[in-house]
Amino acid sequence: MCDVIFQRIRWSGISTENYHPQSRSTRHHVYHCHICHKAYQNAQDLRGHMSTHTGVREWKCGICGKEFGFRQALTRHQKNVHSQFRQQPH
pLDDT tens per residue across span 8-49: 444 444 444 455 555 555 556 689 999 999 998 888 888 888
Give the per-residue pLDDT at 81: 93
3 in any annotated domain: no
1 or 56, which is more confident? 56
Which CATH number covers residue 73? 3.30.160.60
pLDDT of res. 11? 44
pTM here is 0.53
Q: Distance between CA 24 and CA 16 in Å, rounded?
A: 8
| In a domain? residue 76 | yes
Give the mean model confidence (pLDDT) for residues 80-87: 77
Q: What 3-state class would DSSP assign to 39? A: strand
**What's CA 64's distance to the chain center, in Å?**
22
- What range defines the domain where residue 48 resides? 28-85
Position 18 in a domain: no
The answer as to whether 42 is a domain residue is yes
| Number of domains within the chain | 1
- Whose CA is closest to 63, among 30, 86, 43, 44? 86
